[in-house]
Amino acid sequence: MDSTQKVAIITGASRGIGAGLVSAYRMLGYAVVATSRSVDSTDLEVLAVPGDLSRPGTGADVVDHALNRFGRIDTLVNDAGVFIAKPFTDYTDEDYDAVAGVNLRGFFDISRSAIAAMLARGGGGHLVNVSTSLVDHANSQVPAALASLTKGGLTAVTKSLAIEYAARGIRVNAVALGIIRTPMHPAETHETLAGMHPLGRMGEIDDVVGAIVYLEQARFVTGEILHVDGGQSAGH
């Protein structure tokens, strides 16, 4: 491949937003490393790496595959996430391990290795974290303390890493999402979920993909938490 071709790693890439991001980055001319628990591709410029990011070492392994195949990493989009909504006292230790394992451990492992690869190449780079507007707009209809606990950490670390690596040319941003129309939401819930947004509709995958593509191309933007939530974070 052309050694100047940029390379993006997309986690949670098998469906929904992640699959949309794989297509979008290919349209931008990037080679893509797509990872999820189960993932495949027939595109020669998309390397599919199956793996469970909650397991220590998986993220580093994905980065190694990316470097071995394409020789560089320019962007990492941390889209993989686990969401479990229930009253706080109903959460189990297994729930905590599942949510924190992907949302925090998975982020830490793959981001640490990806940033190291960007620093070693010396050409800068970009991280995008996928968070939720529930972090700063709690909703009594959606008791989801583990989402706030873990995704709130991603929101905070986005700003921390943006400042830590700004002088090295690595930008770090996040999107904070409302409820997006993906296969995880049954069709019979869509009307109710749409009403939870001031704009009166659920978000679409293209809304999220467009926001992340904007951040990818916005070279003067770092440390930004871009709300893609139909106005939820502004009020209701």
Task: Please give the DSSP secondary-structure letter assigned to residue 12.
Answer: S
CB atoms within 10 A of CB 20: 22
Give the model's pLDDT for residue 139.
84
**Closest Cα to residue 78, out of 37, 109, 41?**
109
Q: What is the mean pLDDT of residues 215-234?
A: 96
More confident residue, 119 or 41: 119
pTM exceeding 0.85: yes
Q: What is the mean pLDDT of residues 60-83?
A: 97
Domain ranges of the chain: 7-234
pLDDT in tens, 109-141: 999 999 999 999 998 999 999 999 999 888 888
Q: What is the mean pLDDT of residues 41-59?
A: 94
Does the domain at 7-234 match CATH 3.40.50.800? Answer given as no
Asked if 23 and 136 count as a contact pair (C-beta separation under 8 A), the reply is no
- 226: enclosing H helix or E strand: strand 225-228
Tell me the H-state helices in 122-217: 145-165, 190-194, 205-217
Asked if 125 and 161 count as a contact pair (C-beta separation under 8 A), the reply is no
Q: How far is CA 134 from CA 14, 87, 90, 99, in A?
A: 24, 15, 19, 15
Flag whether pLDDT at 1 surpasses 50. no
- Rounded mean pLDDT of the chain? 94
pLDDT in tens, 7-28: 999 999 999 999 999 999 999 9
CA distance linking residue 139 with residue 38, whole number of Å: 32
